[in-house]
Amino acid sequence: MDIGVLTVFATAVAAWALVAVYRVIIRLDDPHERVFRAVVAGVLSITALAAWSVEVAHHQRQQLATEALGVVSDVKGLSADCERFTEELFNLSQYQGYVYYDGSNVAHLRRKVCHNLWDYAHGGQANPSEGQILAVQIVAHEAQHINGTRSESAAECSAVQLNYLVAEKLGATPEQARDLQRRYFKDYYPHLASDYISGACTEGGALDIFPDRTEFP
């Protein structure tokens, strides 16, 4: 289970709110103290609801990312680990996602990637932002590492050819998904770091995973 600082905070505040409400009930005979305790109970209840709404949203984004990974990987038990706000504060890494090279089935994704993935799935399909296009590709890329591909260029090329499946899983029409795929390959792939691109990532190339298909990617 994904337990973070917010999980603990929300649980603690919810417990305090319940205690405060209970004390309001048992002090109904004391109007002065009842008002004060009612205010405290109200503040704690609102805080708990707000904290839990953020916590639930985090888990929803994480579940969506996990489902997106599963479209291009059949590794049993795979999952996404979306970065929390507190983790983001201390994360100075340039990487937007990574998978440990130890047979791990977990894709660790930056908080912004998960947010962009969620936004794409909830209305961004027709005109995706740069962040949303990259988020779809990152999920497809990290899924290749979960599949066992260690080479960054090989993982990226496979992801380029499969990212449209992720887009469709997130609600895009086949046409919208293919448009995202073409936009990424044309506008972003050529400008990646050298270890992420390959001359073999072309129609009929060694990294073409659909050699019978005449259109690349």
Quick check: is 39 in a domain? no
Inform me whether the pLDDT recorded for 16 exceeds 90: no
In a domain, 207, yes or no: no
Residue 19 falls inside a structural domain: no
- For residues 3 and 117, what is the distance between their CA atoms, to the nearest angstrom? 21
Evaluate whether 86 touches 4 at the Cβ level (below 8 Å): yes
Per-residue confidence (pLDDT) for residue 33, from 0 to 100: 65
pLDDT number for residue 62: 96
In the structure, what pLDDT confidence band is assigned to residue 189 with cuts at 50, 70 and 90?
very high
Cis preceding linkage at 174, omega within 30: no
Distance CA 53, CA 162 (A): 33
Is residue 209 in a domain? no
- 126: Cβ–Cβ under 8 A, 6 or more apart, which residues? 176
Does the residue 66 lie in any domain? yes
In a domain, 170, yes or no: yes
Please write the tens of the pLDDT for every residue from 56-102.
899 999 999 999 999 999 999 999 999 998 788 888 888 899 999 88
Q: Under a CB-based contact definition with an 8 Å cutoff, are residues 109 and 134 in contact?
A: no
- For the chain, the domain total comes to 1
Mean pLDDT of 107-111: 96
Strand, coil or helix: what is 136? helix
What tokens does 141 get? 């890329």
Residues of the domain holding 105: 59-196
pLDDT in tens, 137-187: 999 999 999 999 999 999 999 999 999 999 999 999 999 999 999 999 999
Residue 108 belongs to some domain of the structure: yes
The pLDDT assigned to 145 comes to: 97
Choose the weakest-confidence range: 46-60, 115-129, 130-144, 185-199: 46-60
110-148: burial string, b at 16+ Cβ within 10 Å, e else: bbebbbbbbbbbeebbeebeebbbbbbbbbbbbbbbbbe
Residue 11: the pLDDT is 74
Average pLDDT of every residue of the chain: 88
Q: Given pLDDT bands bounded at 50, 70 and 90, which one contains residue 32?
A: low
CB contact at 8 A, 83 and 127? no
The more confident residue out of 104 and 32 is 104
Residue-level pLDDT at 61: 96
Question: With 90 as the cut, is the pLDDT of residue 2 above it?
Answer: no
Inside any domain, residue 89? yes
Q: Indicate the pTM of the whole model.
A: 0.82
Token pair recorded at residue 106:
């977990």
Tell me the C-alpha to C-alpha distance, in Å, between residue 5 and each of 86, 117, 140: 8, 23, 29
